[in-house]
Amino acid sequence: MIGRPVADAKAYGREPYRKTLDGVMRDGFGDPIPKDQMRVGDAVTLNFHRKDASHVGILGDYRYGGLSLIHTYALGERKVIEHRLDDEWAGYIFEVYRP
């Protein structure tokens, strides 16, 4: 989906351990770009009420204008979901990576 080979992480923990997720993202995409430059197709890490990134999503093209977020979300319907990136969800974005 993002046009890059993705290394399989066999030891996927329930919680990211000591910025492991940040390391994997940097290895794959390089350094993050500023949040105000994010656009469709970027990969983003999110953090919910914590210091480090704990979740990953892809920015999509929202059909009514603006950006959407495509991700799997255990607290939602337990499947891949897409929804509008509103201010609350934009606030959860931790870092933005350009593939």
Partner 1 sequence: MSGQQIGTVIGGAIGAYFGGPAGAQLGMAIGGMIGGAIDPTKIYGPKIGDGQQQTATDGAPIAWVQGTALVAGTLVQVSKRRQIRHKDNGKGSGTEQVTFTAEQDFAILVCESCELRDSSMDSVLMVLQDGKIVYDVRDGKNYGNQGIPFNGNYAHDVASVVLDMSDSFKMHCDFMFGGEDQLPHPTLEAITGVGNTPAYRGSLVAVFKNFDVSAAGDRIPSF
* Residues in touch with partner 1 (CB under 8 A): 47-49, 62-64, 68-69, 73, 75-78, 81-89, 91-92
Smallest gap from residue 56 Cβ to partner 1 (A): 16
Smallest gap from residue 80 Cβ to partner 1 (A): 10
Residue placing its CB nearer to partner 1 in the complex, 28 or 73: 73
Residue placing its CB nearer to partner 1 in the complex, 18 or 78: 78
Determine the 3-state secondary structure of 55 from DSSP: strand
Which of the 8 DSSP states describes residue 51? S
Smallest gap from residue 92 Cβ to partner 1 (A): 5
The helix (H) or strand (E) run that includes residue 29 is: helix 20-29
Q: Which two tokens stand for residue 70?
A: 């495509």
Q: In what order do the strands lie in the sheet with 93-97?
A: 80-84, 67-72, 55-61, 43-46, 93-97
Residue placing its CB nearer to partner 1 in the complex, 24 or 62: 62
Determine the 3-state secondary structure of 56 from DSSP: strand
Smallest gap from residue 89 Cβ to partner 1 (A): 6
